[in-house]
A and B are shown apart, each in its own frame.
Chain A
Amino acid sequence: MNEDLRRKIVQMAYDGKDGHIPSAFSIIDIIELLYRDQLKIDPKSPEWSERDYFILSKGHGCLALYVVLEKFGFITQQDLDVFCRPGGILGEHPDCTKVPGVEASTGSLGHGLSFAVGIALGLRIRGMNNKIYVLVGDGECHEGTIWEAANVANNLQLGNLYVIVDWNGSAAQLMPRDDLPAKWRAFGWETMVVDGHSEVELRAAFDSIKFQPCGKPTVIIAKTVKGKGVPMLEGHGVWHHRIPNEVEFAQIMETLS
């Protein structure tokens, strides 16, 4: 699934000598499906008032967002080609002041959901029907602000707010009592658990959400594999922030071909 986008991610990291490849592979299938199938967007008008919002709260996975934004016409291949280079607009964390289609400058974990709660509330106050999607990491769920925001969203009944948790097991390395579904349910969220690399399961989950400006917020907990698609990258080892050398680059591209 999405081998072409995974190849682009590896190419960008290799050329730019930076980036978090496994973190991007963990979420690429979710983000691609959202942009292809779920979000109401107009690449020619990124600030369209009726658009749906997508916020990548785990900003270090931004290589996945960049290749999807390119695929759907928000940015260009030329932008991807100068990732992390002087004059380019794409850095190691997404920047809404530079990149069309990026809704929030993230990177410091634990900000995106609270920010999204404000957007969801604000659009509801204005009588708008936009939907707000936020992708957070399971490690990011160690941040206290995630649970502040989860509590507030439930109490404000922000039914226009949808969270996807990238449950790739990063958190459990440190804190093995990691029953995320139970935690989100305890905070009053409509909670689903799916395979985050299965288009069928992801689409079914997204399609099952009934839009309601005032109702339970929804969380889709997506079980994912960090580095999914290339066995040598999978898991929680040295590849978190490592750039492949020439030989490794060739091996990874071969695996994805």
Chain B
Amino acid sequence: MTNPTPKKLRQQFADTMLAVGREDPTLVVLIGDISHFILQPFAQACPGRFYNVGICEPTIVSMGAGLAKAGLYPVMHTIAPFLIERSFEQIKLDFCYQGLGGNLVTVGSAFDYANLGCTHHCYDDWALIKALPGTQITYPASPVEFDTLFRQTYRNGVLTLFRLPEHQHEQTFVTSDIQFGKAIKVKDGRNLTIVTTGPHLRDALEAREELMSMGWDPEIIYVHTIRPLDTELIRASVCKTHRVLVMEEHVRSGGLGDDVLRTVHDVANMQFSWIGIHDAFIHEYRPYSLHCEALSLSRDGLIRHVKTLMLD
């Protein structure tokens, strides 16, 4: 008997829009000519609330703000760099400065579109959105996380980014495990805290046994809400272990690592380390898994990193 193929995040997005849209007549979805077909059930169940606006992302964002001004709850969906980087000023001025709430749902997380190159990569989105006061960022890497986090936040009057990765961690969570703004302690440990995000929860879990054979007892904290960050859980863990390693598909500047370091910098005898995307564009054409391996965002990379950089 084989394990069923997990539902894709993008399919869960479509399913959640359908379910929430049926309950809430104020939910409106704008897309930039992606996910058109999988959103047809929503379009048919919620007539007049689905618009494939085309390839004009800044206008999609401004329109979303206008919908919010008119008393509706907008969802804007397309590929990450076009929705976040190209449309940043619209997000800043039309949503955030004016105090309007909305939901940015992106695909093409970090370097998911591995061979499409820099135009379709987006590994600075958290830094950009975090630079805007009052915003929220989630990174759900399993279907139940997206469904739960969306329902918990989409009407709270704040601009929220949902970064949907193509790859999942395959850890089983249930709805009651998921609380917006709260990280999840997946494993207790004693002398090393691994703060991990997205699909790399799997790497941390897979590396744990070998790390234990090396004398490490890692505590694994999984973060699905990048902002607001669960600083309480992270700080409590690092106060116990005094060593923290962050794994993220994001550039260093403005990423999760920065926020974790800010959270624990004054913990006595604390050692900090980080695996992510260094200050360079990714130029190579290669599959997602090889991008991860090259960046040490993998089981083996994590073990190598601990061996090299984490001193006993």
Query: Do A120 and B72 have beta carbons less than 8 Å apart?
Result: no
What residues of chain B lie closer than 8 Å to A126, measured between beta carbons?
Answer: 70-72
Contacts A114-B63, A121-B63, A156-B51 given; 7 further ones with Cβ under 8 A?
A118-B62, A118-B70, A121-B51, A122-B69, A122-B71, A125-B49, A151-B56
Question: Is A115's CB under 8 angstroms from B62's CB?
Answer: yes
Cβ contacts under 8 Å, A125 to chain B: 28, 48-49, 67, 70, 72
- Between A and B, 8 residue pairs with Cβ closer than 8 Å are A97-B98, A114-B61, A115-B65, A122-B69, A125-B67, A128-B70, A152-B54, A152-B63
Q: Which residues of B contact A119 (CB under 8 A)?
A: 66-67, 69-70
Q: What does DSSP make chain B's interface, helix, strand, loop or mixed? A: helix
Known: A115-B69, A117-B63, A118-B69. A97 touches B58 (CB 8 A): no
User: In the bound complex, do residue A114 and residue B53 qualify as a contact, i.e. CB atoms below 8 Å apart?
Assistant: no
Give the shortest distance, in Å, between B96 (CB) and chain A (any CB). Answer: 11
A152 and B56 contact, Cβ closer than 8 Å, known pairs A97-B98, A105-B93, A105-B97: yes
Chain A residues near B90 (CB, 8 Å)? 111, 114
Q: Which of A94-130 contact B (CB under 8 A)?
A: 96-97, 103-105, 108, 111, 114-123, 125-126, 128
A59 to chain B, nearest CB (A): 10
Q: Which partner residue on chain A sits nearest B64 by CB separation? A: A118
Chain B residues lying within 8 Å of A118, measured Cβ to Cβ, are 62-70, 74
A152 and B67 in contact, given A105-B97, A114-B90, A126-B72 (Cβ under 8 angstroms): no
Q: Does A4 have its Cβ within 8 Å of any Cβ on chain B?
A: no
Produce 1/0 per residue, B263-285, CB < 8 A to A.
00000000000000000000000
Determine the chain B residues whose CB is within 8 A of the CB of A104 once the complex forms.
69, 94, 98
For residue B74, which residues in chain A have a CB less than 8 angstroms away from its CB? 118
A148 at the interface (CB under 8 A from B): yes
Is A152 touching B59 in the complex (CB atoms < 8 A)? Answer: yes
Which residues of the other chain, A, contact B65 by a CB distance below 8 angstroms?
115, 118
Q: Mark A138-153, 1 if CB is under 8 A from B, else 0.
A: 0000000100110110
B229-284 contacts to A, CB under 8 A, are: none
For the complex, count residues of A whose C-beta is within 8 A of B: 26
Write out the residue numbers on chain A whose beta carbons fall within 8 Å of the beta carbon of B53: 152
User: Of B58, B66, B97, which contacts A145 at CB under 8 A?
Assistant: B58
**Number of contacts between A and B (CB, 8 Å)?**
94
- B70-81 CB mask vs A (1 if < 8 Å, else 0) is 111010000000
Q: 9 shortest A-B CB distances, which residue pairs?
A: A118-B66, A122-B70, A114-B62, A118-B63, A148-B56, A148-B59, A119-B66, A114-B59, A122-B67
A55 shortest CB reach to chain B, Å: 9
Name A146's closest neighbour in chain B (CB-CB): B59
- In this complex, how many residues of chain B approach chain A with their Cβ under 8 Å: the count is 29
- List, in ascending order, chain A residues with CB within 8 A of B69's CB: 103-104, 115, 118-119, 122
Which B residues are within 8 Å of any A CB, using their own CB? Answer: 28, 48-49, 51, 53-54, 56, 58-59, 61-72, 74, 89-90, 93-94, 97-99
Q: Cβ of B97: which chain A residues have Cβ within 8 Å of it?
A: 97, 105
| Shortest Cβ distance from residue A116 to the other chain B in the assembled complex, whole angstroms | 6
A55 to B68, alpha carbons, bound, how many Å? Answer: 15
**Quick check: A148 and B66 within 8 Å, CB to CB?**
no
CB distance from A207 to the nearest CB of B (A): 26
Instruction: Give chain B nearest CB distance to A163 CB in angstroms.
Output: 14
Closest-CB distance, A10 to chain B (whole angstroms): 29
- Chain A residue contacts of B51, Cβ below 8 A: 121, 156
User: Does the CB pair A117–B70 fall under 8 Å?
Assistant: no
For A152, the chain B residues whose CB sits under 8 A away are: 53-54, 56, 59, 63
Kindly identify which residue among B58, B67, B71, B93 contacts A121, using a CB–CB cutoff of 8 Å: B67
Q: Give the residue among A103, A116, A119, A156 with the most B Cβ atoms within 10 A.
A: A119
Please report the C-alpha to C-alpha distance between residue A111 and residue B60 in the assembled complex, in whole angstroms.
11
Which residues of chain A are within 8 angstroms of B98 by Cβ–Cβ distance? 96-97, 104-105
Find chain B residues with CB under 8 A from A108 CB. 89, 93
Q: In the complex, A176→B41 CA distance in Å?
A: 48
Known: A97-B99, A125-B28. A149 touches B59 (CB 8 A): yes
- B210 CB → nearest A CB, Å: 52
A105 to B97, CA, bound (A): 8
Q: Which residues of B contact A128 (CB under 8 A)?
A: 70
Q: Mark A216-253, 1 if CB is under 8 A from B, else 0.
A: 00000000000000000000000000000000000000
Task: Answer whether A111 and B94 are a contact pair too, CB < 8 Å, given A126-B71, A145-B58, A152-B59.
Answer: yes
In the assembled complex, the Cα of A108 lies from the Cα of B66 at a distance in Å of: 16
CB of A4, distance to nearest CB on chain B (Å): 32
Question: Which of the residues A111, A117, A123, A151 comes within 8 Å of B93, measured between beta carbons?
Answer: A111
Q: Are the C-beta atoms of A111 and B28 separated by less than 8 Å?
A: no
C-alpha gap A199/B61 in the complex (Å): 36
Q: Answer whether A122 and B56 are a contact pair too, CB < 8 Å, given A97-B99, A115-B94.
A: no
